[in-house]
Chains A and B, each alone.
Chain A
Amino acid sequence: MTATVVSRPQHTPPAAELDGVARHYPGGVRALDGVSMRIGAGELVGIVGPSGSGKSTLLNLLGTLDAPTEGSVRIAGHDVGALSDNGRSALRAQGIGFVFQQFHLAANVTALDNVADGVLYTGLPVRRRREQAAAALRRVGLADRAGHRPHELSGGQQQRIAIARAVVGDPALILADEPTGALDTASGEAVIRLLRGLHAAGAAVVVITHDREVAAGLPRRIHVQDGRIAADERPAHTGAGS
């Protein structure tokens, strides 16, 4: 787990770069204030903090689902504030994969087609999408469940399907929002192992969690408290956090 931090070439832009970012909501709520950070290409990072600390706001900004009130957010070198809504959609379609606590799988749709929806908005024809989906299912070890519907699968399996959907387009940045929150310990561990494996394959993975155990297993931990970064625990030069 040590030498994977710089698995991509040096000239690759950072996966995400935040500079003096604030996000205020109407009514004076300051969800984030003065946040600056940098997530390198291919890095595995945990964002940790109690609920209401601003973790979700941070995830939305990293995922270009939201724009900052102040400061700048750059994702894979693109200034999100300068992109149009369609430009941000294209960035999400091509470069960002999401994993949610509640899986968000479509009922009555097979695992294969759920995964294929991950590249629905990339312009690929349906046959290519299904081929890629089959490959992604193999990566998460569920190739034999391709024809199953979500209700026929366990929670852990559903979350692995959701992870397959996040990675099917081979994005440079994967954002996982409490990915183990709805799972028992064993399934949760399997999901974290899977995310580590994706990170090893070259994608930057950001795991948002309030679970200290999950956080402890990650090489870098950014602690968020009251909308600010309280601590940024970088890995020690060898074996930190493992």
Chain B
Amino acid sequence: MRLSAADLLRTGASGLRARPLRVVLSALGIAIGIAAMVAVVGISTSSRAELDARIARLGTNLVTAAPDDSLFGGKAKLPQGAAARAEHIDGVRRASEVAQVTGVSVYRSDRIPEEESGGITTYAADLGLLETLRVRMAEGEWLNAATSEYPAVVLGAKAAEQLGVDRVGPDTRVLVGDEYHSAVGVLAPAELAPELDRAVLVGWDAASDRLAMDGHPTTVYVRADPERMSGVRDLLGRTLNPQRPHEVKVSRPSDALQAQEAVDQTFIGLLLGLGGVALLVGGVGVANTMVISVLERRSEIGLRRALGATRGQIRGQFLVEAMALSALGGVSGTVLGALVTAGYALSQGWLVAIPPWALVGGAGDPVPIGALAGLLPAVRAARTSPTRALRAG
């Protein structure tokens, strides 16, 4: 006579109901392993989703060109008017340039000693830079045709922090070189041009008139058609500096973000491995619990045999019990892992992204582990002689 699936489940669960604390503790082992794995997958997926969204927003079609300092000890320069020439390349949508102004320090006021310059760089910037880089303004306004001729600056995100400027008004001023400049705006972090975060930007004309900028750009930023990226990269050096094309270093800043994804993958592998070890330990815990359970419940086994249970039915009961125990751990671990993921992702301001396979796998994977862990105890339970089992009670 076979037990129905419902009866098998009922007898399997009856053993768990009788010892709730032990059930919770041994399911916890499985739950911790599963929670760790689900959280690792969830957090890395959320982080990747966030990075993907950032890359999509910033675009992978930005190319920068700069003089190759490594060859000529910082003496190499791009010719004047480089950005305008770059715009003639087929496939370039727009190009902007900045020129580093040397020998100029930036201070909040003239009372700060000269040596405490804080490492803030000054750049001359053209008016199209903001759009080329797709950087937002955190505060105030970008330079315009009027302010670019006057002593006015826009502060990079970190530079503003360092100078103690968190909002700009008519009388917010910083000292650039010998002259006070009005701070008209603060940039949000420039993810594709992080060098601008620790800089202040002045208009091109103001920089040549007041700060002795020589008109040679130090970086040209180029937005290209995504399909024509490689052509643009090839032509950029020759176009910007026809005499010395090898002195131009061309790079794509979004490559760094994509490299970050690859680094993440390595860590995920490692952390998943650790989660797997935790799961294995949890499985051993379940096996341990089941062995003890079989020893303790010999009289129950004897009674069931007396009531007509076959060896197979006893084996089935303990197997189902071990699987239910593991499944309990799997489901609670999955919930825990999802909560940890959601908590972490939300605290980082990310979207919560957990792949469905992780949820299904987290809840379901422990079941075969439980079957494996319960196999030996179940076989021992089935082999227990009913007469000996009844004497134990």
Contacts and interface: CB of A to CB of B under 8 A. Distances in A.
A65 B386 contact: yes
A65 B387 contact: yes
Contacts of B11: 120
Interface in B1-48: 1-4, 6-7, 10-11, 14, 17-18
Contact of A118 (B3, B17, B307, B391): B307
Interface string A157-168: 000000001000
B3 A121 contact: yes
A25 B376 CA distance: 27
A93 B6 contact: no
Contacts of B84: none
A92 B387 contact: no
A104 B308 contact: no
A94 interface: yes
Interface stretch (B49-57, B254-262, B309-317): B309-317
B140 interface: no
A123 B311 contact: no
Contacts of B4: 125
B307 A107 contact: no
Interface residues of B, number: 31
Interface in A51-102: 56, 60, 63, 65-66, 85-86, 89-94, 96, 98, 100, 102
Contacts of A165: 307
B387 to A, nearest CB: 5
B309 A89 contact: yes
A108 interface: yes
B146 to A, nearest CB: 84
B308 A100 contact: no
B43 to A, nearest CB: 40
Contact of B306 (A56, A86, A98): A98
A96 B118 CA distance: 94
A27 B10 CA distance: 41
A121 B387 contact: no
Instruction: Report which residue of A85, A86, A104, A123 has the largest number of chain B beta carbons within 10 angstroms of its beta carbon.
Output: A104
B300 interface: yes
B391 to A, nearest CB: 8
Contacts of A108: 17-18
B14 A109 contact: yes
- Interface SS of chain A: helix
Contact of B390 (A65, A85, A93, A94): A65
A121 B390 contact: no
Given A100-B393, A104-B303, A121-B1, A85 B14 contact: no
Instruction: Report which residue of B1, B17, B304, B393 has the largest number of chain A beta carbons within 10 angstroms of its beta carbon.
Output: B1
Contact of A120 (B300, B307, B311): B307
Nearest to A129: B7
Nearest to B11: A120
B282 to A, nearest CB: 26
A225 interface: no
Contact of B308 (A89, A107, A109, A125): A89
Contacts of A123: 1-2
Given A65-B390, A121-B1, A106 B309 contact: no
20 contacts: A65-B387, A66-B387, A89-B309, A89-B310, A89-B313, A90-B1, A92-B307, A93-B307, A98-B306, A98-B307, A104-B302, A104-B390, A109-B14, A117-B307, A120-B307, A121-B1, A121-B3, A121-B308, A121-B310, A126-B6
Interface of B: 1-4, 6-7, 10-11, 14, 17-18, 299-300, 302-313, 385-387, 390-391, 393
The 4 closest A-B pairs by CB, nearest first: A93-B308, A121-B308, A123-B1, A89-B310
Interface of A: 56, 60, 63, 65-66, 85-86, 89-94, 96, 98, 100, 102, 104, 106-109, 117-118, 120-123, 125-126, 165
